[in-house]
Structures are given as structure tokens and as C-alpha cells.
């Protein structure tokens, strides 16, 4: 008797084995996590492994000129496929689930269908997008941004990373400067499975998040210049200390977020003092500010107040300031019908579910510009992510991948 599509279930052991194999590449010793910054040697080895799995599944594989890789399983007709996917680059202290889960669960969905001999009416695609993290080459979601036409390829290739390398140079070096045209044709729909990376699902003892959208993101790089001098001889009143401007601004954004309340968040995640010596008043301070909120007006206000404070703090210290926007994305709302489909599928499969916004940036927020889009979240233990200790239980991974399977089949039914 033929298997009913609604009875199909993914194989959690196969999915966990692939997650573990990918996590061996760039593994951080003594932890479960990995470091595969975008377009590094480690990223290349990870890409090659995932592409080999796509080949094993007999997918039609394309690589575009920003290095996004898409594998397609044909459907009964040749309309645009339903796409899933995410990213396989990580931050330098990453976990094994962030992004990787969405890509490998997509492969698992296709392997499950292949094993059952089921061809959906519409084709299914699994993508991994370049440089979702933006940790080496800002902005985040770079590959999916270019995929949907939000940035031109030449501009993207010219982006310089934190180590001075360029996106175009590194794509060429690792062999992922592909020929597929950009912007790409819009998929029929897009749905991404991802770990929540926050504490909500675990705290509420829920299994599935039906993601309603992604909050706005603002990244700024700040350079402050003062005057380098002797730490022992320079009276406090005569100093032009850029580090003080940096520390005061870092404290200010924390207080601002506390004052505005959730969901406002604010982070100073990177800071560099020069010459960075114990007995020298620094000459320069360079640091980043990450502000996020679901309401664009609140985010704009937080940006304005932060800049105002920074300029005042610099003037008070006799320092000069330059700022550069590294990323600025408005909040995004996902498609009602896709959100409802995720929610209903989770309930039908017997899971607890809630609607929720995403605090992290995701490739889905870029795809939402061109097609109906949604996301599925599964719980993150202790709300930890961008940390090698990131963990999601096999039971929750399985639940999320099974919801993904049925949502993709539903979206591909016509």
C-alpha cells in the first residue's frame, strides 16, 4: 500500500549524523561547537560536504556569483519550486545547529520523500546562502540579500572583511564564484527551520514556534580618534582618550535598552583599542553597535539617541568620530498563510506551538521580499546561541523537521 504523505516522518538519526559530520569541520576543541566563518577554508570544506550530499540525492545543483548553492528535486510540473534552506557559515564561536539545521533538515525532507517514492506536484529546493552571519563580511544575510536583488553583485564582491579580504576574492579562492544569474527567480514559497536561539520556547515548555517576522537590525561601526600619550604623566584633564568615549557609549546603549524595555536590545560586540598597551592612552578606539527592535520607529529613535550621545561624549573628551553603517534592515512580517500553515501543521502533529517574532536575523527575511515566506523555530536549551554550547534535543529537532516536511508538501501541493 502506498504511504500517505501525511504519515511520512523524517529519520532523526540520519539528520543527527549529518549535523555531527558537518560540525566536525572547524570543530572547536573541547566543545560541541564550530568555527566556519564565511568563505574561509573551513567554510569551503563544509560547502563541499553539503554539495556531496546534494549530489547523493541526485539534486540539480546551481551555484551563483555570490556563492549561494541551491539543490532542486524536480516535481510533477515545472513551476517554481518551494524552497527551504538557511546557512552553513557560523560565527567564530558558533554552535552546530544555527543555520546548519535548516539546510540539513531540507536534505532530510528530500531523502524522506525519495525513500517513499513520492514526487510532489511542485519541485522542492534546498539552499544554503553565503555569509548569513555577517561576522566576517557585513552585512548579515549577504547571500540571500543579493539573491533577491537587494544588493548588486559587484557591490557585494567589493565588501572588505574584518581581516581585509574581499568577498569576491574569497569566493574565487574557494571555488564558489558560480555562473547562476542574480537576482535569482523567486521561489513559489520559502520556509526555513531554525533553532530559536533565545529562551522563550523552553521557558514556556513549547516545542514549535510559528515565526511571525524578524525584528529590525541596525549595525554601526564607530571609529574614535584621540591623542596617544603617556599613562603615567598625562594629567586626567588633558587627556583625549577614545577608549573612554567607547566605554561610555557601550554603557549608554545598555541603559537605553533597559529604559526602552523589551524587545529593544543593544550590544557592543567588537572593540579594538590602538595601540592596546597597558601604559599608553589609546590613539583610537574602534567598536560596533548592534541595535534591534520589532518597531522601526523605536529603532530609529534608539539610533538617533545613540548617535547624539556618541557625538557629545566625543566632544567632551576632545576626540573626533566617524561612523559607518554595516547593516540596516527594517522589521519584516511573514506571510499570514505560511505562518498559519506552520501553526496548524504543528498542532496536527500533536505539538505545542506559539506564534512569535524572531530576535535573530535570518535568510527568510530576505526571501520574504520576493515570495510568501515563513519560519519554524525549535527550542534552544538555556536560550544559548552564538556559543559552542548551543543545544537542541533530538526530539525537538525531529519535531521541527517533520513540521518542515509537511509544510513544504502543503506549499508544493498546487
Contact positions toward ligand GLV, by CB under 6 A?
Answer: 132-133, 140, 360-361
Smallest separation, CB 374 to ligand GLV (Å): 17
DSSP for 200-226?
A: HHHHTT-SEEEEEEE-EEEEEEEEEE-
Smallest separation, CB 200 to ligand GLV (Å): 16
- The CA-based dihedral angle spanning residues 18, 19, 25, 30, taken in that order and rounded to the nearest 10 degrees: -130
Reported for 21-29, long-range contacts at CB under 8 A and 24+ positions apart, including other chains, are: 21/49, 22/46, 22/49, 22/50, 22/88, 22/96, 22/100, 22/104, 23/96, 23/100, 25/49, 26/90, 28/93, 28/388
What residues contact residue 359 under an 8 Å CB cut-off, 6+ apart? Answer: 197, 198, 215, 263, 265, 292
The SS3 assignment for 197 reads coil
Distance, in Å, from the CA atom of 108 to the CA atom of 57, rounded to the nearest integer, reads: 10
Smallest separation, CB 14 to ligand GLV (Å): 26
Smallest separation, CB 210 to ligand GLV (Å): 19
Q: Does 282 bind Mn ion (CB under 5 A)?
A: no
Q: Does 81 bind Mn ion (CB under 5 A)?
A: no
Smallest separation, CB 167 to ligand GLV (Å): 17
Smallest separation, CB 130 to ligand GLV (Å): 13
Segment near Mn ion (CB under 5 A), from 32-40, 56-64, 90-98, 202-210? 90-98
Cβ proximity of 63 and 55 under 8 Å: no
For residue 238, what is the DSSP state? G
What, of Mn ion, ligand GLV, none, does residue 170 touch, CB below 5 to 8 Å by kind? Answer: none
Site string for Mn ion, 225-264 (x = CB under 5 A): ----------------------------------------
Smallest separation, CB 386 to Mn ion (Å): 6
What, of ligand GLV, Mn ion, none, does residue 111 touch, CB below 5 to 8 Å by kind? Answer: none
What, of ligand GLV, Mn ion, none, does residue 361 touch, CB below 5 to 8 Å by kind? Answer: ligand GLV
Among 99, 106, 134, 216, binds Mn ion (CB under 5 A): 99
Q: Which residues pair with 27 in a beta bridge?
A: 34
Cell of 141: 544575510
Distance, in Å, from the CA atom of 130 to the CA atom of 145, rounded to the nearest integer, reads: 10
Between 133 and 317, whose beta carbon lies closer to ligand GLV?
A: 133
Cβ proximity of 105 and 18 under 8 Å: no
What residues contact residue 380 under an 8 Å CB cut-off, 6+ apart? Answer: 97, 195, 196, 197, 198, 199, 201, 202, 390, 391, 392
Between 225 and 385, whose beta carbon lies closer to ligand GLV?
A: 385
Segment near Mn ion (CB under 5 A), from 55-63, 94-102, 103-111, 172-180? 94-102
Cβ-based neighbour number of residue 387 at 10 Å: 18
Cβ proximity of 354 and 206 under 8 Å: yes
Tell me which residue has cell 595601540: 275
Q: Does 98 bind Mn ion (CB under 5 A)?
A: yes
The backbone torsions φ and ψ at residue 232, rounded to the nearest 5 degrees and listed phi first, read -90, -30
Between 133 and 410, whose beta carbon lies closer to ligand GLV?
A: 133
Smallest separation, CB 11 to Mn ion (Å): 23
Smallest separation, CB 292 to ligand GLV (Å): 8
Q: Which residues bind Mn ion (CB under 5 A)?
A: 98-99
Amino acid at each position: 500500500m502506498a504511504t500517505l504523505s501525511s504519515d511520512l516522518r523524517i529519520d532523526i538519526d540520519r539528520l543527527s549524523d549529518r549535523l555531527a559530520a558537518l560540525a566536525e569541520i572547524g570543530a572547536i576543541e573541547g566543545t560541541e561547537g564550530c568555527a566556519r566563518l564565511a568563505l574561509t577554508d573551513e567554510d569551503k570544506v563544509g560547502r563541499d560536504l553539503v554539495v556531496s550530499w546534494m549530489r547523493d540525492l541526485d539534486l540539480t545543483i546551481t551555484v551563483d556569483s555570490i556563492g549561494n548553492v541551491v539543490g532542486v528535486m524536480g516535481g510533477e510540473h515545472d513551476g517554481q519550486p518551494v524552497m527551504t534552506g538557511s546557512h552553513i557559515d557560523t560565527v567564530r564561536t558558533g554552535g552546530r545547529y544555527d543555520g546548519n539545521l535548516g539546510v540539513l533538515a531540507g536534505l532530510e525532507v528530500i531523502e524522506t520523500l525519495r525513500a517513499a517514492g513520492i514526487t510532489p506536484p511542485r519541485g522542492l529546493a534546498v539552499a544554503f546562502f553565503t555569509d548569513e552571519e555577517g561576522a566576517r563580511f557585513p552585512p548579515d544575510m549577504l547571500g540571500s540579500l543579493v539573491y533577491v536583488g537587494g544588493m548588486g553583485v559587484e557591490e557585494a564582491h567589493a565588501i572588505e572583511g574584518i581581516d581585509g579580504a574581499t568577498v569576491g576574492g574569497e569566493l574565487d579562492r574557494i571555488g564558489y564564484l558560480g555562473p547562476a544569474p542574480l537576482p535569482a527567480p523567486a521561489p513559489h514559497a520559502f520556509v526555513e527551520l531554525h533553532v530559536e536561539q533565545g529562551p522563550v520556547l523552553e521557558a514556556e515548555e513549547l516545542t514549535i514556534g510559528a515565526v511571525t517576522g524578524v525584528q529590525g537590525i541596525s549595525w554601526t561601526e564607530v571609529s574614535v580618534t584621540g591623542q596617544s600619550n603617556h599613562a603615567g604623566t598625562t594629567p586626567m584633564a588633558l587627556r583625549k582618550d577614545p577608549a573612554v568615549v567607547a566605554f561610555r557609549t557601550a554603557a549608554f546603549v545598555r541603559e537605553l535598552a533597559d529604559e526602552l524595555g523589551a524587545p529593544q536590545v543593544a550590544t557592543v560586540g567588537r572593540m579594538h583599542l590602538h595601540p592596546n598597551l597597558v601604559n599608553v592612552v589609546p590613539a583610537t578606539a574602534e567598536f560596533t553597535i548592534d541595535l534591534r527592535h520589532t518597531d522601526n520607529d523605536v529603532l530609529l529613535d534608539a539610533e538617533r539617541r545613540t548617535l547624539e550621545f556618541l557625538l557629545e561624549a566625543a566632544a567632551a573628551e576632545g576626540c573626533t568620530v566617524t561612523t559607518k553603517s554595516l547593516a540596516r534592515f527594517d522589521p519584516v512580517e511573514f506571510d499570514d498563510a505560511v505562518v498559519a500553515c506552520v501553526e496548524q501543521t504543528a498542532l496536527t502533529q500533536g505539538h505545542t506551538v506559539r506564534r512569535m517574532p524572531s530576535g535573530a536575523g535570518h535568510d527568510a527575511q530576505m526571501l520574504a521580499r520576493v515570495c510568501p515566506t515563513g519560519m519554524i523555530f525549535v527550542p534552544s536549551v538555556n536560550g544559548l546561541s552564538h556559543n559552542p554550547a548551543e543545544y537542541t534535543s533530538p526530539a525537538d529537532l525531529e519535531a521541527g523537521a517533520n513540521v518542515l516536511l509537511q509544510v513544504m508538501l502543503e506549499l508544493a501541493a498546487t
